[in-house]
Structure 1
Amino acid sequence: MPPATRELPMRIRPARPASWVRPARALRRVLRRTLPALVPLLLLTPVPGCRAELVPPGAPTPWPTESARRWQWQWQLSGPLDVSVEADVFLLDPVRTTSTETAALRARDRRLVCQVRVGTYAGTDPDATRFPTTVRGAAVAGRPGSRWLDVRQWDALEPVLADRFRLCRGKGFGGVALADADGYLHRPGFPLGFDDQLLFNRRLATLARSLDLSPGLVNDVPQVAALAPDFDFAVNEECVRLRECAKLLPFADARKPVFHVEYAGSPSGFCVTTVGYGFTSIRKDRDLDAWRETCPLP
């Protein structure tokens, strides 16, 4: 008799319940319809490593030294802002200038500098009431409603000036030009000395940098030699007429921009001097509206 065969146990696959089959078939139908549409979306989704870096509205203004002598500039504090002016640097009033205007200029890769009066205040300033009575000095000659500030009282002035700088930062300015930083040269109503002003101006430069703003010095020519290392650029009025241009050379020699303006005379006359020094010069009316005449760049 043949040996008995060994029977293997039979494996029986359990039947899938109908309640499971219907959803599975429905899912396959959905995937067949949606996958062709999802693939292009996946391909268009940016990869984190390839995403373009976004510059925040208040990003610091770059001041590359190799370009310092090739920048044209515009200084406008009155009248409707003309954002179409062919200038690389715009010096503007941070209160009057809107965020829309700064955005339009930044879209054209313009460098923006706000002018902040640090040694005076006007009664019409939005923050005028924040200055304590003890820091308010004599009237500013030629500017009704404006008064000098006691720059020796840093603790009282710093919070207000810091907020002025923050306004610039919030509107997209990258630099701040410190105007009226020379009260010691006038009659401010306080016994301000050279060293008092020097300390105040250096503190302001440090404050600006702490807020990612490039500090610039407006006028204050007698202190240029001492302050040039602390500031990134200079703004000067009428150094040709006043015969003071040579005193601005510490900035130019350090290849830092010197933005210069004259209010009288022909550019064909004063440009010979200032371009030779390495300054960027323009002719303006004293009300500083949009009009200007430029000097040729070297």
Structure 2
Amino acid sequence: MRQHTRRLLPISIFCLALATMSGCGGGSSSDTPPPASAPAAYWKPALGDTWQWQLKGTVNTAYPATVYDIDLFDTAPATVQALKASGKKVVCYFSAGSSENWRPDFSGFAPADMGKDLQGWAGERWLDTRSATVRKIMLARLDLAVSKGCNGVEADNVDGYANNSGFALTAATQLDYNRFLASEAHHRGMSIALKNDTDQLKDLVGDFDFAVNEQCHEFAECEGYQAFIASGKPVFNAEYAAPYSSDPAARAKLCADANARKFHTLVLPLALDDSLRYSCEP
């Protein structure tokens, strides 16, 4: 989730999931196995596609959205298949830049892989995205997304270098990690969203298929996303500020700006539990 400075298997099971890789040990990022051959084609969201984003609670499948963005771990494969059978495309969310102590593969992270807490998010710590162990866990998560039938993925917290992570991450190490995620998703036949990371939008627009942003209107960070729009790649935006849900005039102003930018903007609760939803779609 967004950090305001910028902007879920026991280990034996985890190792079994990685049996086709090079093991469960640590090491440098150069130990990451080479990707398989890329498929000829995979689904990519279109500029006009609409979206729904819900990460908690029973997924409400009633919205007339083209794309559903839902939790990778907490969503049953049957829900994914039901959404796809109704004509939706499914994007599966996971955190690629933080550990979450309630996730089933949490024990796979080495203590040295986990840095400082994410401010405001209990149980989450920044990850050393240079670590081979971290990258192997993310490969297993991408494989889980494939097994559940996800059309794409949303990899969160891919801007650790711009936060107080506890690691010597840089813009260059972030670009390397984000491109690693994009390449591996594509090789598995899935699209991938660039989540926030607003300072590297122009650098990464060629590697990612769409963008997911939180609060760019609230924090005046929307302009950089025109690089995605100009490339025919949709921008899915969520805003949480109270006036957008309580004040119709503030919401109308927000939506006018979002629609002028060709964004797909939703006003949602920070919990992303479907307790409220306003769409700026005209």
Which TM-score band applies after superposition, normalised by the shorter structure? Answer: 0.7 to 0.9
In structure 1, stretches of 5+ residues that fail to align are 1-59
Q: 1:145 aligns with which of 84, 106, 123?
A: 123
Q: Which has the bigger relative contact order, CA under 8 A and spacing at least 6?
A: 2
What's the CA shift for 1:209?
Answer: 0.8
Q: State the AA in 1 paired with 2:272.
A: L
TM-score (norm 2): 0.80
**Distance in 1 between the 2:255 and 2:148 partners?**
33
Shift of residue 133, structure 1, vs aligned partner: 2.0
> After the TM superposition, which residues 154-173 of structure 1 pair with which residues of structure 2 at under 5 Å, given as runs?
155-173=132-150
Alignment match, 2:280: 295
Note the 1:60-139 alignment, pairs <5 A: 62-63=43-44, 65=46, 68-69=47-48, 71-139=49-117
**Take 2:240 and 2:259, find their aligned partners in 1: how far apart are those partners?**
17
**2-side partners of 1:192 and 1:62: how far apart?**
32
Name the CA distance, whole Å, in 2 between partners of 1:84 and 1:64: 20
Alpha-carbon distance, 1:172 to partner: 1.2
Cα separation, 1, equivalents of 2:77 and 2:198: 32
8 A contact 2:45–2:210 mirrored in 1 = no
Question: What's the CA shift for 1:63?
Answer: 2.1
State the 1:103 CA deviation: 1.3
2:27 equivalent in structure 1? none
Tell me what 1:4 maps to.
none
Q: Which of 166, 175, 178 is residue 198 of structure 1 equivalent to? A: 175
Kept in 1, the 8 Å contact 2:113–2:127? The answer is yes
In 2, distance between residues paired with 1:122 and 1:81?
21
Higher percent of residues as helix: 1
Q: Secondary structure at the match of 1:256?
A: coil
In structure 1, the residue corresponding to 2:238 is in which secondary structure?
strand
1:262 aligns with 2:247: no
The answer to whether the 8 A contact 1:61-1:175 is kept is no
Structure 2 CA distance for aligned equivalents of residues 196 and 288 of structure 1: 30
- What CA RMSD, in Å, does the superposition of the two structures yield over aligned residues? 1.4
Q: Distance in 2 between matches of 1:263 and 1:245?
A: 15
CA distance in 1, matches of 2:220, 2:210: 20
C-alpha distance in 1 between matches for 2:144 and 2:126: 21
Post-superposition offset of 1:61? 5.9
C-alpha separation in 2, matches of 1:141 and 1:168:
28
SS at match of 1:229: coil
Q: Which amino acid aligns with 2:138?
A: L
Deviation of 1:169 after TM superposition, in Å, equals 1.2
Percent of aligned positions that are identical: 33
Partner of 2:5: none
Q: In the alignment, is residue 278 of structure 1 matched against residue 259 of structure 2?
A: no
Task: Look up the equivalent residue of 1:273 and give its one-letter code.
Answer: D
CA shift, 1:64, in A, is 5.6
Q: Structure 2: where are the runs of 5+ without partners?
A: 1-40, 245-249
Letter in 2 for 1:141: Q
Superposition deviation, residue 152 in structure 1:
1.7
- Paired with 1:160 and 1:233, the residues of 2 have a C-alpha distance of 23
Aligned length: 234
Question: What corresponds to 1:252 in structure 2?
Answer: 229
